[in-house]
Amino acid sequence: MSYETIDVRKLTPTIGAEISGVDLSGQIGNRQFEEIHRALMENLVIFFRDQDLTVEQQKSFGSRFGKLHIHPNAPKMFPDHPEILTIKADAASKRVAGEVWHSDVSCDEEPPMGSILLIKEVPANGGGDTSFANMYAAYDALSDTMKRFLAGCTAVHASLKSANHQYRDKTADMRFPEAEHPVVRTHPETGRKALFVNRGFTTRIVGLEAFESDALLEMLFRHAEQSRFHCRFKWRDNSIAFWDNRATMHQAMWDYYPERRYGHRVTVCGDRPFPRA
């Protein structure tokens, strides 16, 4: 089906599309909202250029898709806007958010449906791209025998596996969630099956010996991290990426040290993953 209120240009045949013809700072009509939503479902991650949004405008756009998530332990740089997660790296950074392939906060009982990242400043001398993987395609490419085996499996996702938290000073108000999810989840809107493990958060497959779990997880991580399932987005100042965490994982490149990269993310709440429709 074609689009009437937006233009949609695919980044790769597998995942990702750039959307133009929309100003996200204003009120979006219902027809345009439905088409943006459809573009997200069809392409799994969508990109917008030249969207210099305030935090209020970014929150307002995110709220059209659902309740906004408050990160359990990320520093809150805007006390009046705890829903805004700041993404920042510069010469003083020891590490950056999202360097390891992950689906956002998959350690939550109800991991986020989607994330909307606005990069306001790109590094002065290039770098800082983000890659996204199509986890439907990663699932589809497995053998039928492996699909049958994984159908009954669940895995633990732990916040403390995330490198950012391992090195951070812990404070009393921080929470470090851990949750068990199906290894293959059914997308609640498209009904498609997606592989739902990621190197950033998934620690073990329940019911297997440690050596079995480690080997199987490493195989699945490497499988989904192959570039044939990816697109790679080159940011400009005031670009937005909106990805569906239920069907993708992503990785931020930190190849621009000591330059500065800065942006704001809002994250839309999701529901508990389930194995089949």
CB of 101 to ligand SIN, least distance (A): 10
CA 21 to chain CA centroid, Å, is 24
Give catalytic status of residue 265 as yes or no. yes
Of the pair 96, 216, the CB lying nearest ligand SIN is at 96
Buried/exposed 160-170: b ≥16 CB within 10 Å, e otherwise? ebbebbeeeee
Alpha helices in 65-209 (DSSP H): 135-140, 144-151, 163-167
Active site residue 37: no
Q: Does 103 sit near ligand SIN (CB under 6 A)? A: no
Choose which of 97, 122, 217, 247 interacts with ligand SIN (CB under 6 A).
97
- Considering the complex, state which of residue 11 and residue 97 has its C-beta at the smaller distance from ligand SIN: 97
- Binding flags for ligand SIN, 51-90, as an x/- string (CB under 6 A): ------------------------------------x---
- For position 122 contacting ligand SIN by CB under 6 A, the verdict is no
User: According to CB under 6 A, which residues from 126 to 145 bind ligand SIN?
Assistant: 130
- The smaller minimum CB distance to ligand SIN, of residues 77 and 215, is found at 77
Residues 153 to 212 in contact with ligand SIN, rule: CB under 6 A: none
- Measured CA to CA, the distance from residue 140 to residue 229 in angstroms comes to 11
Tell me the residue ranges of DSSP E strands in the chain. Answer: 7-10, 17-20, 45-48, 85-89, 114-121, 130-134, 154-158, 178-182, 184-186, 193-195, 202-205, 230-233, 239-244, 248-252, 261-268
Sheet strand arrangement including 230-233: 230-233, 130-134, 248-252
Is 223 marked active-site? no
Q: Does residue number 117 form part of the binding site for ligand SIN (CB under 6 A)?
A: yes
For ligand SIN, the binding residues (CB under 6 A) are 87, 97-98, 115, 117, 130, 250, 252, 265
